[in-house]
A and B are shown apart, each in its own frame.
Chain A
């Protein structure tokens, strides 16, 4: 075994943070969506890492984590579709996808 569980977990956490940073700092809505996708994939890495080294002997050998990750990938795809549709809709209305400018409603 070359890499310990912790390495993957740290990778996951770092990736999550990167995705979070992207999602919160990028102005372009598509970029924000990409950041979110990175976050979800960070979760996937974490899940798979956990799934491959289950600490609890009672549940060892089950692929729950991996299956969870597959579901997340699927749902994320759907989510991206919905989100992109929204982005297109907003672009049609305002000719911009800058999330910083989408602040008509506040206070």
Chain B
């Protein structure tokens, strides 16, 4: 077996994106420092337009149904599952750059670094979805994470009306990097144990090794330990309880575009890799009961804690952090169903769809938060008071996104949640109970999502003025709203795309 052009072709989206990241970084060297004006815009435009190239490669791959899916000796698997996430990450790139443009311009003043870091992180995220080898996955994970650590601390000057925002940013960064390293350690320990019991780091080989694995005995316990540690490592990324505690602090402290990026890219990538490792690596097949239980417990606690604590938050980003914890809980319900009956493409596709909708919606919601921060510097819940009167369009878009997150029909969030719950329920066993817990959690979540909507529409605004809304952020918001509506109407095709991804995930296993 030799490396050939096919392998490069399979890797072409990642390569192109890396090239773009390098290009942006290099271009930044030639930009006049300090000033505003067209130069800053150029970088964003280059980054956005440049993403068409990886997108083109991804599309090329997607429309080549007979392509080989694995390359680089099985380290890379560019199957439909990976392509689904690649599209998602490229979309995230587009959304985040748009949403963050004015914030970066106003408060961070380091656009080159920011966009380059973002693109590098996206490369890592893409690799997390397409890697099928533990070492590669680990590298991808760290490639994703390092830029995030830096992004968290990029706010060097205080945002007006928001004292100590710079201090908070640094605090977020150090917390993030130290906790991230700890989580890497536990993940690695789990991977080491997995490697120990199977003798390989290639997921396919692990799966086949585990097929002949005899349950019981010390090896089984080591494998369980590996399951728990690996789950803990990824659980950190997806902020599942009890590995979630970093999220509120870092979400709050990091500059909002960074927060947005953590909440979508990092989480989606975490799920991509988590599902890949557990399913493609054959972990759930070997000890389904335990893995299922593990995930179900995490799901239950994530939903409940996330929703309940979100109610009492006063900082919008902190609230969104708990919201994202709860959303992770919903996704874990689907993952529990998947673990309960492995080779369950329906749950997988439902998860993929749910993640996609979550990403689109969250981008919209954060675009709203960022736009408000751009205009007023306020990032507290009460800063949303009477937003509708100050900026109706922003208020409507933001509310729509929040209601979609809350799962109020007929918005995409509700449809995807219903699909996810249906898929989970379909597995039988105790899953229906988990679904009912999820439904009750949806009721609780109303309190804070609709609470913001209440503030936006009902509360008295602190000042009766019209807010200037940055064009880029509102473009992101509009795109997100269009996405929400489109995903509601065309949820069918999206489900089919998710289904293809799911099928490829299982066909990787060979049967």
B135 contact set on A, CB distance < 8 A: 64, 67-68, 71
CA distance A94 to B166 in the complex (A): 11
Decide if the interface of chain B is mainly helix, strand, loop or mixed: helix
B-facing residues in A50-85 (Cβ within 8 Å): 50-51, 54-56, 58-60, 62, 64-65, 67-68, 71-72, 75, 78-79, 82-83
Q: Is the CB of B199 within 8 A of A56?
A: yes
CA distance A33 to B174 in the complex (A): 11
CB within 8 Å for A56 and B142 given contacts A82-B149, A102-B175, A105-B171: no
CB within 8 Å for A105 and B249 given contacts A46-B192, A67-B135: yes
CA distance A72 to B134 in the complex (A): 12
A64 contact set on B, CB distance < 8 A: 135, 195, 199-201
Answer whether residue B288 sits at the interface, using C-beta atoms and an 8 A cutoff: no
Answer whether residue B386 sits at the interface, using C-beta atoms and an 8 A cutoff: no
Answer whether residue B188 sits at the interface, using C-beta atoms and an 8 A cutoff: yes
Q: Is the CB of B182 within 8 A of A39?
A: yes
Which of B142, B153, B174, B201 has the most chain A CB within a 10 Å cutoff?
A: B174
The minimal Cβ–Cβ distance linking B205 to chain A, given in whole angstroms, is 7
The minimal Cβ–Cβ distance linking A80 to chain B, given in whole angstroms, is 9
| CB nearest neighbor in A for B309 | A107
Write the residues of chain A forming the contact surface with B, with a CB cutoff of 8 angstroms: 9, 12, 16, 19, 23, 29, 32-33, 36, 39-40, 42-43, 46-47, 49-51, 54-56, 58-60, 62, 64-65, 67-68, 71-72, 75, 78-79, 82-83, 86-87, 89-90, 93-94, 99, 102, 104-106
A9 contact set on B, CB distance < 8 A: 196
Q: Is the CB of B139 within 8 A of A105?
A: no
Q: Is the CB of B192 within 8 A of A43?
A: yes
| CB nearest neighbor in B for A37 | B181
Interface size on B, residues (CB 8 A): 44
Report the 5 A-B pairs with minimum CB-CB distance, sorted nearest first. A56-B199, A50-B196, A39-B185, A59-B199, A54-B199
CA distance A89 to B155 in the complex (A): 11
B166 contact set on A, CB distance < 8 A: 93
Which of A43, A55, A105 has the most chain B CB within a 10 Å cutoff?
A: A105
A49 contact set on B, CB distance < 8 A: 196
CA distance A102 to B166 in the complex (A): 13
Q: Is the CB of A106 within 8 A of B249?
A: yes
CB within 8 Å for A79 and B199 given contacts A86-B177, A104-B164: no
Q: Is the CB of B193 within 8 A of A89?
A: no
CA distance A40 to B135 in the complex (A): 14
A50 contact set on B, CB distance < 8 A: 192, 195-196, 199
Q: Is the CB of A79 within 8 A of B177?
A: yes
A-facing residues in B135-187 (Cβ within 8 Å): 135, 138-139, 142, 146, 149-150, 153, 164, 166-168, 170-175, 177-178, 181-182, 184-185
Contact pick for A72, options B149, B188, B209, CB 8 Å: B188
Given A59-B200, A86-B173, A99-B174: 7 more A-B contacts, CB < 8 Å: A16-B185, A36-B182, A46-B193, A50-B196, A55-B199, A56-B199, A75-B138
CA distance A82 to B139 in the complex (A): 16
CA distance A105 to B276 in the complex (A): 34
| Cβ proximity bits B192-223 to A, threshold 8 Å, 1 near / 0 not | 11011111110001000100000000000000
A33 contact set on B, CB distance < 8 A: 178, 181
CA distance A37 to B276 in the complex (A): 28
Answer whether residue B253 sits at the interface, using C-beta atoms and an 8 A cutoff: yes
| CB nearest neighbor in A for B136 | A71
Contact pick for B150, options A40, A43, A82, CB 8 Å: A82
Q: Is the CB of B167 within 8 A of A93?
A: yes
Contact pick for B198, options A56, A60, A75, CB 8 Å: A56
